Amino acid sequence: MEDLVRSAATGGEAAILDDKARLRALSLVETRQRIHAGRMLSEYPQGVPDLRPEEARDAKAIADLVVRCALDWLVRFPPT
């Protein structure tokens, strides 16, 4: 996912993600890595000690931002 975010942020004026969106998307990648279900089960077999519901709300907001950036980019650079 990191590679996808970085790729979407390249291209200068033609980039899909601006720097703010890129940083937010990378923070989502970091959160995803921290809360990955398989990793959590192996690291916390007795149950997860630290669930943060605000991270889920933030993740949804970031996903909405990334989708909006992609849709806006398609308007600016329509497929030929």
At 3-60, the pLDDT tens digits run 999 999 999 999 999 999 999 999 988 877 776 666 666 777 776 666 677 877 888 9
H or E element that contains 58 = helix 53-76
What confidence score (pLDDT) does residue 37 get? 66
What confidence score (pLDDT) does residue 39 get? 67
What confidence score (pLDDT) does residue 50 get? 64
Tell me: pLDDT of 67 over 80: yes
Number of domains into which the chain is organized: 1
Per the structure, the complete domain to which residue 14 belongs is given by: 2-76
Residue 73's contacts (CB-CB under 8 Å, 6 or more residues apart) are 16
- Listed as own residue / partner, the contacts of 29-38 with beta carbons closer than 8 Å and 24 or more positions apart are 29/1, 29/2, 29/5, 31/55, 31/58, 31/59, 32/1, 32/59
What confidence score (pLDDT) does residue 31 get? 79
Helix (H, G, I), strand (E, B) or coil at 39: helix
| pTM of full prediction above 0.75 | no
